[in-house]
Amino acid sequence: MVPTSYYVLLSAILFTIGALGPLIRRNAIVLFMSVELMLNAANLALVAFARQQVNINGQVLVFFVISVAAAEVAVGLALLVAIFRTRRTTDVDEVSTLKG
Amino acid sequence: MLNFIWIIPLLPLVGFLVNVFAIKRERDAGYVASGVVGAAFLFALLAFLQLGTLPAEERMVDVVLWSWISTGDFRVPFGLMFDPLTGVMTLLVTGVGGLIHVYSIGYMHGDVRPVRFFAYLNLFIFMMLILVMADNMLLLFLGWEGVGLCSFLLIGHWFDRNRVPPGLVPSKAAVKAFVVNRVGDAAILLAMVAIFVNFGSLNFFNIELGETILQGFVENAGLIGAATVTIPGDTFLLTTTISFLLLIGVTGKSAQVPLFVWLPDAMAGPTPVSALIHAATMVTAGVYLIARTHPIFSGFTLGLVTWVGALTALIAGTAAIAQWDIKRVLAYSTVSQLGFMVAAAGMGAYAVAIFHLLTHGIFKALLFLGSGSVIHGAHDNQDMRKMGGLRKDMPVTFWTFLIGAAALAGVFPLAGFWSKDEILATAWSNNIIIFFILLTTSLATAFYMGRQVALVFFGEQRDKSYHAHESGSFMTIPLMVLMVGALVGGVMNLPGTHWLGHWLEPVLAEEAVELNIVLAVVTGILAVLAALGGWWYYVANAAKVKVGAQDPLYHYLGAFWEGFQEAWYFDDFYNNTVVRGYRGLSNFLARVFDPEGIDGIVNGVGWVLTRAATGVRSLQTGYVRTYAFIFLVGVILIIGYLVVAL
């Protein structure tokens, strides 16, 4: 049996990679993938802890996260298409008119 | 009829509404307006006669139409009352008012805004009737303000004219009247608050309202006044304050010292307005108010009332001598006669004051209407220096005006003789100084009326550029009716019968003034001599009277004459203090305080915010990356804090 700490460590690594995405990349699609990575890192941690605690709640919560993430992706991709149609780019730095 | 007294004020209100909404033609407006006031007079006469059939102590009807205001303890009914005092006032307002309406049909013929004029006249009659029929202070105040509003509207009837004789601007005169009256009205408002705090009700007399009984403050003035309460709630002190505040209100509405300055300027309005509002009815509201609330006037305030009245009489009486404008003489004369009434009221002779109010209402309306007829016949000329000899061209106006002038001068046996004689007799037995002030004034009165008659009707016409003509019958018939009133008005209260005094006894319980035969004969002879003196002097010196030259009397009186001309410089005093001070303050506020102060604060706040924001705005890069980074740093800091702290 793999110790829970391994899962948590993997989850932390995945989350860090995901969190780095928005900081160093400018392609909007890559940003989406990074967000998905962070969500799934959190999912992994939830499932791992749930299994350790022998508690079904964490696993149920993961299903909610997945479905919300799916909805979020749908909206996000739609936005992305709209931005691409007007701007001909997916570079988020090009879409920076909303600044003070 | 007595339960239907609300018909009396309702009629002019209907006339007003009909005139405003339905009438387009000048003639219709005049007929409707006169008709409703005439009908109101008939109803008032019916109510008056029916009131007379009741026993003396039951002559008081109160009709509560509806509950007007009801919040907690503050309950005000919309109630009308009819008692002997209200009765005579109602008859004066509708009777003289009706005649002036008829006269206006002739006088306002061809005016630019006749329908509006008649509508306002009707509204005025309505408000005046509310004023005299109100059974509580608040409703009285509604009428009080209403007549003030109508006065403002009618003084400014020719608001589009820049200048009317004698050099007045109608719109400014209207505003002046309104603003000066505000001073007095503010005092009335304060008085009402004090009355409510002190007596718990604004009603004059006890009335039943639903299941409760509202205590009338006039009826209970003695009871509560007799109770002693320690300072600051001392009841004696409070009633003195109340009566003092009421006196200030009276000085505003009834044009007394020191607030009389608006009335001479009010002559910028059409002459029927001067006759109706600024001579016969509205300005007497103050005298009516004193008479109505007299139980709360105590010794100190009554003395003040007497002096205010006497000084007003003297100041305005002397001012009237030195005027050239035909209406301005009468305006100052009105102020002076109102001073007589107020002085009489101050000496406790309320019935005498009301007697003079009634006779004065008749003969002063006659004089004003007569002067209007002269102005009309002399082609809108108001300067007496350009008149002279008009008795040949305008015989009816001459004779009626002569009777009115003699009545005002106090010539036996006309109306003014009896009422003025009673005031003088009262003063004789009360205060000898007041008596001599009033006697001097009454001689001045006789003198300036003699002067006016001489200047207008005698000698030769000095300015021959116009041809005077007699006015039409719409104007002369009211003159003749009023002339009869001025001739026989004295029978109301002849010595011996004292009909008016007895009639008013339930309201104004007081001893009838004894006829002082020596005094009456002496003052009567003096008045005739003064009138003849004024007449003779200006007939003899008619050649010296011309535009640009000083009055013949100026030679003898010099600086005094100038003081008389300017009404003892009250207007200059106000111009130099109140008006100039207020203008200075307004200038400072508009030119300095507003742009520098108020705008400075607003602009300063904006400037500070802009400056503070320039530092923060660079954080808003618009790059998602930056936001994500800051977000991440924040999360790490919070988690770090939690880890370290826990």
* B601: exposed, middle or buried (Cβ count in 10 Å: 0-12, 13-18, 19+): exposed
Contact B325, B267 (CB under 8 A): yes
Nearest to B127 by CA among B254, B274, B286, B12: B12
Which residues of chain B have a CB within 8 Å of the CB of A80?
A: none
Query: What is the 3 state secondary structure string of B210-251?
Result: CCEEECCCCCCHHHHHHCCCCCCCCHHHHHHHHHHHHHHHHH
pLDDT of residue B229: 42
For residue A35, give the chain B residue with the closest CA. Answer: B628
Q: Looking at the partner chain, which of A23, A24, A97 has a beta carbon nearest the beta carbon of B622?
A: A97
Q: How far is the C-alpha of B98 from the C-alpha of B125, rounded, in Å? A: 9
Which residues of chain A have a CB within 8 Å of the CB of B628?
A: 19, 22-23
- Would you call A99 an interface residue with chain B, using a CB distance cutoff of 8 Å? yes
Min Cα distance B574 → chain A (Å) is 59
| Res. B526: pLDDT tops 60 | yes
Contact B177, B266 (CB under 8 A): yes
| Cα torsion through B571, B575, B576, B581, rounded to 10 | 150
User: What is residue B227's DSSP assignment?
Assistant: S
Which residues of chain A have a CB within 8 Å of the CB of B612?
A: none
Which residues of chain A have a CB within 8 Å of the CB of B629?
A: 22-23
Q: Looking at the partner chain, which of A19, A22, A99 has a beta carbon nearest the beta carbon of B621?
A: A99
- Kindly report, residue by residue over B349-368, the tens digit of the pLDDT: 999 999 999 999 999 999 99
DSSP B137-167: HHHHHHHHHHHHHHHHHHHGGGTT-S-BTTT
Q: Do B618 and A23 lie within an 8 Å CB cutoff?
A: no
Pairing relationship of beta strands B212-214 and B207-209 according to DSSP bridges: antiparallel
Min Cα distance A81 → chain B (Å) is 18
Q: Do A23 and B632 lie within an 8 Å CB cutoff?
A: yes
Q: What is the mean pLDDT of chain A?
A: 88
Which tokens belong to B626? 């930056």
Q: How far is the C-alpha of B448 from the C-alpha of B384, rounded, in Å? A: 12
Q: Do A22 and B625 lie within an 8 Å CB cutoff?
A: yes
pLDDT of residue B467: 87
- Kindly report, residue by residue over A28-40, the tens digit of the pLDDT: 889 889 999 999 9
pLDDT of residue A94: 78
Q: Do A19 and B632 lie within an 8 Å CB cutoff?
A: yes
- Kindly report, residue by residue over B541-564, the tens digit of the pLDDT: 988 888 888 888 888 888 888 989
Q: Looking at the partner chain, which of A23, A24, A96 has a beta carbon nearest the beta carbon of B621?
A: A96
- Would you call A10 an interface residue with chain B, using a CB distance cutoff of 8 Å? no
Q: How far is the C-alpha of B90 from the C-alpha of B83, rounded, in Å? A: 10
Q: Do A22 and B621 lie within an 8 Å CB cutoff?
A: no
pLDDT of residue B164: 86
pLDDT of residue B509: 74
Contact B118, B75 (CB under 8 A): no
Three-state secondary-structure class, residue B67: strand
Mean pLDDT of A57-76: 92
More confident residue, B506 or B433: B433
Which residues of chain B have a CB within 8 Å of the CB of A93?
A: 623, 625
Nearest to B120 by CA among B230, B269, B322: B269
For residue B626, give the chain A residue with the closest CA. Answer: A23
Q: Looking at the partner chain, which of B618, B622, B629 has a beta carbon nearest the beta carbon of A96?
A: B622
Q: Do A98 and B622 lie within an 8 Å CB cutoff?
A: yes
- Kindly report, residue by residue over B567-606, the tens digit of the pLDDT: 999 999 999 999 999 999 999 999 999 999 999 999 999 9
pLDDT of residue B466: 87
| Res. B298: pLDDT tops 80 | no
For residue A24, give the chain B residue with the closest CA. Answer: B625
| Res. B35: pLDDT tops 70 | yes
Under 8 Å CB pairs connecting chains A and B tally to: 33
Distances (CA, A) of B345 to B286, B318, B490: 11, 22, 19
Which residues of chain A have a CB within 8 Å of the CB of B623?
A: 92-93, 96, 99
Instruction: Scan residues 22-41 of A and list those with Cβ closer than 8 Å to B.
Output: 22-24, 26, 31
Mean pLDDT of B522-550: 90
How many other C-beta atoms can be found within 10 angstroms of the C-beta atom of residue B247? 24
- Residue B1's pLDDT band, with cuts at 50, 70 and 90, is confident
Three-state secondary-structure class, residue A75: helix
What are B79's strand-pairing partners?
Answer: B64
Q: Do A22 and B624 lie within an 8 Å CB cutoff?
A: yes
Q: How far is the C-alpha of B535 from the C-alpha of B556, rounded, in Å? A: 17
- Would you call A86 an interface residue with chain B, using a CB distance cutoff of 8 Å? no
- Kindly report, residue by residue over A82-93, the tens digit of the pLDDT: 888 988 888 877
pLDDT of residue B237: 64
Q: Looking at the partner chain, which of A23, A98, A99 has a beta carbon nearest the beta carbon of B625?
A: A23
* Largest separation between any pair of C-alpha atoms in chain A: 54
pLDDT of residue B228: 43
pLDDT of residue B233: 53
Q: Is the peptide bond before B395 cis (omega within 30 degrees of 0)?
A: no
pLDDT of residue B196: 87
Distances (CA, A) of B452 to B102, B319, B465: 26, 13, 21
Query: What is the 3 state secondary structure string of B265-309?
Result: HHHHCCHHHHHHHHHHCHHHHHHHHHHHCHHHCCHHHHHHHHHHH
DSSP B320-339: HHT--BHHHHHHHHHHHHHH
What phi and psi, each to the nearest 5 degrees, are found at residue B527?
-60, -45
- CA dihedral sign of residues B222, B227, B230, B232: negative
Q: How far is the C-alpha of B21 from the C-alpha of B457, rounded, in Å? A: 43
CA B384 to centroid of chain Cα atoms: 26
Q: Do B629 and A93 lie within an 8 Å CB cutoff?
A: no
* B227: exposed, middle or buried (Cβ count in 10 Å: 0-12, 13-18, 19+): exposed
Mean pLDDT of B489-510: 85
More confident residue, B110 or A94: B110
State the Rg of chain A over Cα: 17
Side-chain-side CA neighbours of residue B645 (13 Å): 6
Nearest to B339 by CA among B428, B416, B271, B250: B250
User: What H or E segment, with its residue span, contains residue B88?
Assistant: helix B84-107
Distances (CA, A) of B449 to B16, B330, B407, B610: 36, 9, 10, 75
pLDDT of residue B170: 93
User: What is residue B467's DSSP assignment?
Assistant: -
- Residue B50's pLDDT band, with cuts at 50, 70 and 90, is very high
Q: Is the pTM of this model over 0.95?
A: no
Side-chain-side CA neighbours of residue B377 (13 Å): 29
Q: Scanning the structure block, which residue is given the tokens 């709630």?
A: B233
Most B CBs within 10 A among A17, A35, A93, A94, hence the mutation to make, goes to A93
- CA dihedral sign of residues B435, B419, B54, B217: negative
Q: Do B618 and A100 lie within an 8 Å CB cutoff?
A: yes
Q: Looking at the partner chain, which of A23, A96, A99 has a beta carbon nearest the beta carbon of B629?
A: A23
Mean pLDDT of B448-455: 94
Taken as a whole, chain B contains a residue count of: 646
Q: Looking at the partner chain, which of A26, A31, A99 has a beta carbon nearest the beta carbon of B622?
A: A99
Contact B75, B340 (CB under 8 A): no
What phi and psi, each to the nearest 5 degrees, are found at residue B88?
-70, -35
- Kindly report, residue by residue over B119-169, the tens digit of the pLDDT: 999 999 999 999 999 999 999 999 999 999 999 999 999 999 988 888 899
Nearest to B301 by CA among B388, B383, B238, B214: B238
Q: Looking at the partner chain, which of A24, A96, A100 has a beta carbon nearest the beta carbon of B623?
A: A96
Q: Looking at the partner chain, which of B620, B625, B629 has a beta carbon nearest the beta carbon of A100?
A: B620
For residue A19, give the chain B residue with the closest CA. Answer: B632
Which residues of chain B have a CB within 8 Å of the CB of A100?
A: 613, 616-620
Cβ contacts of B551 within 8 Å, gap of 6 or more: B322, B324, B545, B561
What phi and psi, each to the nearest 5 degrees, are found at residue B208?
-90, 130
Which residues of chain B have a CB within 8 Å of the CB of A98?
A: 622
| Res. B96: pLDDT tops 80 | yes
- Residue B296's pLDDT band, with cuts at 50, 70 and 90, is confident
User: What H or E segment, with its residue span, contains residue B66?
Assistant: strand B61-71
Distances (CA, A) of B460 to B385, B386, B389, B466, B541: 11, 10, 5, 13, 12
pLDDT of residue B231: 52
Most A CBs within 10 A among B623, B629, B635, B639, hence the mutation to make, goes to B623
pLDDT of residue B238: 73
- Residue B227's pLDDT band, with cuts at 50, 70 and 90, is very low
- Kindly report, residue by residue over B243-276, the tens digit of the pLDDT: 889 999 999 999 998 899 999 999 999 999 999 9
- Residue B232's pLDDT band, with cuts at 50, 70 and 90, is low
Which residues of chain A have a CB within 8 Å of the CB of B625?
A: 22-24, 26, 92-93
How many other C-beta atoms can be found within 10 angstroms of the C-beta atom of residue B261? 19
Q: Do A92 and B623 lie within an 8 Å CB cutoff?
A: yes
Min Cα distance B614 → chain A (Å) is 9
Architecture of domain A4-87: Orthogonal Bundle (1.10)
| Res. B623: pLDDT tops 80 | no
Cβ contacts of B14 within 8 Å, gap of 6 or more: B36
Q: Do A23 and B628 lie within an 8 Å CB cutoff?
A: yes
Mean pLDDT of B385-409: 92
Q: Scanning the structure block, which residue is given the tokens 């002096």?
A: B307
Which residues of chain B have a CB within 8 Å of the CB of A97?
A: 622
Q: What is the mean pLDDT of chain B?
A: 90
- Kindly report, residue by residue over B318-345, the tens digit of the pLDDT: 999 999 999 999 999 999 999 999 999 9
CA B382 to centroid of chain Cα atoms: 23
Q: Which of B136-140, B398-402, B488-492 has the lowest mean pLDDT?
A: B488-492
